[in-house]
Amino acid sequence: MLKVICVCGARPNFMKIAPLVDALSRTPEVATLLVHTGQHYDERMSRLFFGDLGIPQPNLNLEVGSCSHAVQTAEIMRRFEPVVDETKPAAVLVVVRYVAR
């Protein structure tokens, strides 16, 4: 069985991750671990997005919170590395915001 970690943490990413998690959860050969970075730490807001989009509750919340972009990135990396070391996934799927230039 393939382990895939799906990572999301901000409002636009919740909408992007929803259909991917749904498709992976219906694939018997794949074990999906959903990781919330915790950038949007308002419980009510997260609950609404997850509920409205049909996203399962995250398996893990890194609880990074609000801070500068550099600090958020560093904290996500620091807290996420042990997850990867422990679970040894075949893939990590991260949805990002695309900005056309």
Stronger pLDDT, 24 or 95, i.e. the higher one: 24
Region 1-13: what's the mean pLDDT?
89
pTM: 0.85
- CATH match of 2-94 with 1.10.240.10: no
Q: Residues 45-78: pLDDT tens digits? A: 777 777 778 788 889 999 888 778 888 889 999 9
Q: Residues 29-48: pLDDT tens digits? A: 999 999 998 876 666 777 77
Structure tokens at 39: 């950038």
Q: Which residues pair with 100 in a beta bridge?
A: none
Determine the pLDDT at residue 95.
Answer: 87
